[in-house]
Chain A
Amino acid sequence: ILNVEQSPQSLHVQEGDSTNFTCSFPSSNFYALHWYRWETAKSPEALFVMTLNGDEKKKGRISATLNTKEGYSYLYIKGSQPEDSATYLCAFSPSGSARQLTFGSGTQLTVLP
């Protein structure tokens, strides 16, 4: 059984604050790490797919880093806005089984105006 853990479970920040959350995953048999943004009543939307140790990806104010040797990824949001409020899911894909993803439980972010 693959264990993907995210922390914190939930987070409240003020508009303009920068924030980050963590995803930990098995460090062996790594293939890819995905980040998804999931707004209430909508479908999860891909932010990043990361495959190489040391990868850093950026999309606007959101960025992510990847450490496959120690099995963690960080997601950063700079200058949080109310529209960033969502659940952020990470998902791990092991080598040899690249078709399926194992999801963490998500970090629920609320940005207060």
Chain B
Amino acid sequence: EPEVTQTPSHQVTQMGQEVILRCVPISNHLYFYWYRQILGQKVEFLVSFYNNEISEKSEIFDDQFSVERPDGSNFTLKIRSTKLEDSAMYFCASRDRAAGELFFGEGSRLTVL
């Protein structure tokens, strides 16, 4: 069964460092998302991406964040200069239509020291 894959599963970084989280969505899906969950809090929307551009983003998704779909298969989330409060589990998700169910990856745990 097709699945969304994410790498790395866990990354530890120093505050101020750049981090890139990678995702391979399901191949025929058109809509791509990043969500995150800070420990003990709700899953939060970060950004949605369609037709090679950002379609929506939350207040969390400031200038330190960017997304890219560089080669038609990977979908990346970059954090330019990490802060302690960026420590969270980051989930990539995709779907084949705008209002269908989301298919999630297993997440990338980011720890910022």
Contact = CB atoms under 8 A, between A and B. Distances in A.
| A and B found bound together | yes
Interface in B4-19: 4
B25 interface: no
B98 A98 contact: yes
Contact of B42 (A41, A97, A104): A104
Interface in B87-113: 91, 98-107
Contacts of B3: 43
Interface residues of B, number: 26
Q: How extensive is the interface on chain A, given as a class?
A: 20 to 34
A100 B56 CA distance: 8
Nearest to A48: B101
Contact of A43 (B45, B101, B105): B105
B58 interface: yes
B106 A42 contact: yes
25 contacts: A31-B99, A34-B101, A36-B102, A41-B106, A42-B106, A43-B4, A43-B91, A43-B103, A43-B104, A44-B91, A44-B104, A49-B99, A93-B99, A98-B99, A99-B33, A99-B48, A99-B50, A99-B55, A99-B56, A99-B98, A100-B48, A103-B35, A103-B42, A104-B42, A105-B42
Interface of B: 3-4, 31, 33, 35, 41-45, 48, 50, 55-56, 58, 91, 98-107
